[in-house]
Amino acid sequence: MGKTKYSTPLLCQSKQLCFSLFYLFTSLSIAVYFSISTTKCIFRSSPFDPILSPLFSYPPSYGEHKHSIPTLRSACAFPVHFSDYWTVVKEIQESCKNSSDLGSGNLRYVQESADHDSFGGNFSFMKRVSYFDRHRNVDVEIPCGFLKKFSVSDSDRIAMEKCEGLVVVSAIFGDHDKIRQPKKLGSRTRELVCFFMFVDDITLEGLYIHKLIIKTSKEHNVGVWRLVRVETDNLYKNAAMNGVIPKYLVHRLFPNSIYSIWVDAKLQMAVDPLFLIHSLVVKKNVDMAISRHPYYVHTMEEAMATARWRKWRDVDSLKMQMESYCEKGLQPWSDRKLPYVSDVPDSALILRKHSSTSNAFSCLLFNELEAFNPRDQLAFAFVRDMTKPNIKINMFEVEVFEQVVLEFRHNLIKQDTHKTNLANFDPLKNTTSFDKCKTYLSKMWRESKNP
């Protein structure tokens, strides 16, 4: 019998074939990884230079990163394309130097006076509406808060005035949220971006208890955030309304900043703020970028949900607000409102260029919130549609919102059980004058569909 001969496998006979198969399987593995990645909505055109060391370490008792709300929508339907990090840095720096219509511009504000009984002046509805047409009232002083003193320390005020370029702002009043550090910051971002968190004494006390700050210190920092203590005795009793001040009057708190990003304290930024401003504001050539609401398109839908889910407990005020807007011309969204793609934003993340148009819009919206309630989604479309000149807004998709931030739940808040008439309230029934406004908007909606 002859000897059995063993031949070399075909795969090992060709080095070229071997390397080709290796390259194929490697490419497939990378493709599978990116297809299931949670950040697949974000693409960068070149290497990114991030800060690799942790920004801040929290004690376990603080519970800073517990129970993030999961993303439910497709992450690839509306991808965000980011430019090279160093290109972004350069272009934002150049835009800050070369822009002529940034800052307060030709806006003039009503000044602090003993005649005003509230921080925003509490003007009548007709008086507030009279400021909407800036084409005719270009030289008129517009009310924009700060009619009573906004009490912060001198050192904090100086730091706020020194902040130029881009400022990221958040606030916690009533200890209703945790402080969360932004993720994926670039190596130069902390040199170019200011991070300010406005807090009250109740929130500071909670931070003392968790040993995140020292009581004897005059200035407080938690990670990248500089904490600004605000004395609220002279402001509003409602903590949410106090939070509206830095949310919409950021251009007045930071008079030398060119761009700003408002981040609700329930959010954690998952993308460098320079990327966000550049891709959603600068490249789009808009005054503001804000996410559209994930469910609602019409203001009345949000108003009904606000009443039904007890987001604001004064139903009479809600009815008065909606009826006032209806009588002054609020219409349901239709194609006629394009390029505005919705009437209801998700205002947890707001990106702004501090142009005179954007600043005026923020002032006028703030006045509505003081007059009725801090539910800014209810007044948003009315102010936007009625203000002249029109503000340029990029209302990006909710999928983008869910990719650039992580959302957490607020701390549990004790609910007041007195002074409520909502136990048996159903805003969908034809038993209140609230339905009058709903019918009015529905009629105009049908007319807009069949002109």
Does residue 373 register a pLDDT over 90? yes
291-317 pLDDT, tens per residue? 999 999 999 999 989 988 888 888 888
66 — pLDDT class (breaks 50, 70, 90): confident
Residues 6+ apart with CB under 8 A from 350: 247, 261, 262, 288, 289, 290
Question: What per-residue confidence (pLDDT) applies to 437?
Answer: 67
**Per-residue pLDDT, 340:** 96
- Taking the CA atoms of residue 255, residue 217, residue 178 and residue 227 in that order, the dihedral angle to the nearest 10 degrees is 0
Cross-strand partners of 198: 171, 228
How much is the average pLDDT of 99-103?
Answer: 60
Spatial distance between the Cα atoms of 27 and 31, rounded to a whole number of angstroms: 6
Angle at the Cα of 367 (from 364 to 373), degrees rounded to 5?
130
CA dist., res. 103 & res. 352, Å (int)? 11
Asked if 75 and 399 count as a contact pair (C-beta separation under 8 A), the reply is: yes
- pLDDT tens-digit readout, 252-261: 999 999 999 9
Residue-wise pLDDT tens digits, 361-372 = 999 999 999 999
Say if residue 337's pLDDT is above 90. yes
d(C-alpha 45, C-alpha 82), whole Å: 7
Give pLDDT tens digits for 209-236.
999 999 888 899 999 999 999 999 889 9
Residue 449: Cβ-neighbour burial (10 angstroms; 0-12, 13-18, 19+): exposed
Mean pLDDT of the region 199-205 = 95
Please name the amino acid found at residue 243: G
Helix axes 376-386, 315-327, angle to 10 degrees: 10
How far from 203 is each of 172, 243, 261, CA to CA, in Å? 7, 13, 22
pLDDT confidence of residue 119: 94
Binned at pLDDT 50, 70 and 90, residue 30 comes out as low
239 or 14, higher pLDDT: 239
pLDDT, position 26:
73
244 band by pLDDT with thresholds 50, 70 and 90: very high
pLDDT value, residue 46: 52
Residue 199 scores a pLDDT above 90: yes
pLDDT of residue 44: 52
> Mean per-residue pLDDT for 6-31?
65
Give the mean model confidence (pLDDT) for residues 397-418. Answer: 75
Average pLDDT over the chain, rounded to an integer? 84
Name the residue type at position 250.
V
More confident residue, 94 or 341: 341
CA dihedral 338, 341, 346, 351 (to 10 degrees): -60
Least confident of 14-23, 79-88, 430-439: 430-439
